[in-house]
A = this chain, B = another copy of it.
Amino acid sequence: MMKVGIVGGGQLARLLVLAGYNLGLQFQILDPAIDACAGQLAYLIKGNYEDISRLKQLAEWADVVTFDFENVPATAARILEEQVAVYPQAQTLYIAQDRFCEKTLFLELGIPTTLFATVDSLDELRRAVIKLDLPAVLKTRRLGYDGKGQRVLRILDDVESAWQELGGVPLILEELVPFEREVSVLAVRGIDGETKFYPLVENYHRDGILRLSRVPCRDQMLEFQGYNYTRCVLDHLNYIGLLAVEFFVKKGCLIANEIAPRVHNSGHWTIDGAETSQFENHLRAILGLPLGSTSLLGPCIMLNCIGAMPELARVLAVQDTHYHFYGKTRRFGRKVGHLTLRVNDSDKLRACLNVLLPLVGLTIDEFLEWSY
């Protein structure tokens, strides 16, 4: 039986484990938290990501090591790489961890992205504001997620307060794009370079947190652009595994926002809605196995459960809804699970959403405004 080590024990690791058990894989998880939710399903090595002896313990046991999230120190990935196959590679993690490197990569590959400037002092921030104009977004270059570590600057008075809040670590100022939609491409690339794409996903964020994803997007031109750009990234990095690229859509064109070198929240619908889930395909890729079909079983809407799960019985009363709880305790703003609705008929869809959206803290009006 093949052995997979996962650095990080959150829901992405948990969903990888659930997919992998069917393939007969074994798992060990490294996480500093003893209650990491993937540890309920697989052997947990409790340890920090910088703990060399724990990293070596994982590397010694595993046939291949992968990641639950991209903010594992790249040095940890390098230590692992000395002992065992590690996918995605440390170099890729390094790029994805730093918004400046990431955006530089987009530029190098000719992929449209937002204007940006690095900021290491208040003076640099002032110059960057003049160069990019307002509104703009000031972000930490590293360790941002779910809208954390960023601040929108709308007027000149915001400049100093934003600097007070975020300054002291490397920053980046980015143009604020008045986008119409947000979409993501999920692609998987095998050790032999074989690449498959899932249907383009349309995403709805609120307060920087993904709340809803929808497939199919039914815009073939956008999908074609997205596949091309993503293929450039994958081939350039000689990437192995599943990768997501998030884009803004402005006037029918894609503007690359960021790369996630891992399975991605906007791909959770694939568990119930694709021939092969993103989790199984990531495992297949990093183990050198043939990739599975990425085709769609039917239109899907994935709803994130933020803070707490809706009551199980109320969700299951909505036919064709699939419930995924991550075994996490409640906490404000925390992703604790998701629901996937797979339904063909649009009247039925509307009826289901009337029940489900309020259960996850969204309104039907908000949904309609977003989707039409």
Chain A residues within 8 Å of B, Cβ to Cβ: 1-2, 18, 21-24, 40-41, 275, 284, 288-290, 292-293, 297, 309, 312-313, 316-317, 319-320, 322-325, 327, 337, 342
Given contacts A21-B41, A24-B337, A325-B23, contact A319 B297 (CB under 8 A): no
Given contacts A41-B41, A275-B320, A316-B284, contact A22 B325 (CB under 8 A): yes
Given contacts A293-B320, A316-B289, A319-B293, contact A309 B24 (CB under 8 A): yes
B309 to A292, Cβ gap below 8 A? no
A320 and B319 alpha carbons, distance in the complex (Å)? 25
Query: A199 to chain B: closest CB distance in Å?
Result: 17
Query: A306 to chain B: closest CB distance in Å?
Result: 16
Closest to A298 in B: B297
A323 to B41, Cβ gap below 8 A? no
3 tightest A-B CB contacts, nearest first? A24-B325, A290-B317, A290-B316
A313 to B293, Cβ gap below 8 A? no
27 examples of A-B residue contacts, CB within 8 angstroms: A2-B312, A18-B21, A21-B40, A21-B41, A21-B327, A22-B322, A22-B323, A23-B323, A23-B325, A24-B309, A24-B312, A24-B325, A24-B337, A41-B41, A275-B320, A275-B342, A284-B316, A288-B313, A289-B312, A289-B313, A289-B316, A290-B313, A290-B316, A290-B317, A292-B316, A292-B319, A293-B320
8 new A-B contacts at CB < 8 Å, known A23-B323, A24-B312, A275-B320: A22-B324, A22-B325, A41-B41, A290-B313, A290-B317, A293-B319, A293-B320, A297-B297
Closest to A275 in B: B320
A316 and B284 alpha carbons, distance in the complex (Å)? 9
Query: A197 to chain B: closest CB distance in Å?
Result: 15
Query: A242 to chain B: closest CB distance in Å?
Result: 16
A266 and B342 alpha carbons, distance in the complex (Å)? 25
A21 and B213 alpha carbons, distance in the complex (Å)? 22
Pick the residue among B22, B293, B316, B317 that contacts A18 (CB under 8 A): B22
A30 and B369 alpha carbons, distance in the complex (Å)? 52
Q: Which B residues are in CB contact (< 8 Å) with A327?
A: 1, 21, 24
Closest to A309 in B: B24
A289 and B323 alpha carbons, distance in the complex (Å)? 12
Q: Which B residues are in CB contact (< 8 Å) with A292?
A: 316, 319
Q: Which B residues are in CB contact (< 8 Å) with A297?
A: 297
Q: Which B residues are in CB contact (< 8 Å) with A320?
A: 275, 293
Closest to A24 in B: B325
A231 and B366 alpha carbons, distance in the complex (Å)? 44
Query: A294 to chain B: closest CB distance in Å?
Result: 10
Q: Which B residues are in CB contact (< 8 Å) with A289?
A: 312-313, 316
Closest to A271 in B: B22
A22 and B325 alpha carbons, distance in the complex (Å)? 5
Closest to A272 in B: B275
Query: A272 to chain B: closest CB distance in Å?
Result: 9
B312 to A23, Cβ gap below 8 A? yes
A297 and B337 alpha carbons, distance in the complex (Å)? 24
Closest to A321 in B: B292
Q: Which B residues are in CB contact (< 8 Å) with A309?
A: 24
A345 and B21 alpha carbons, distance in the complex (Å)? 29
A320 and B21 alpha carbons, distance in the complex (Å)? 18
Query: A58 to chain B: closest CB distance in Å?
Result: 19
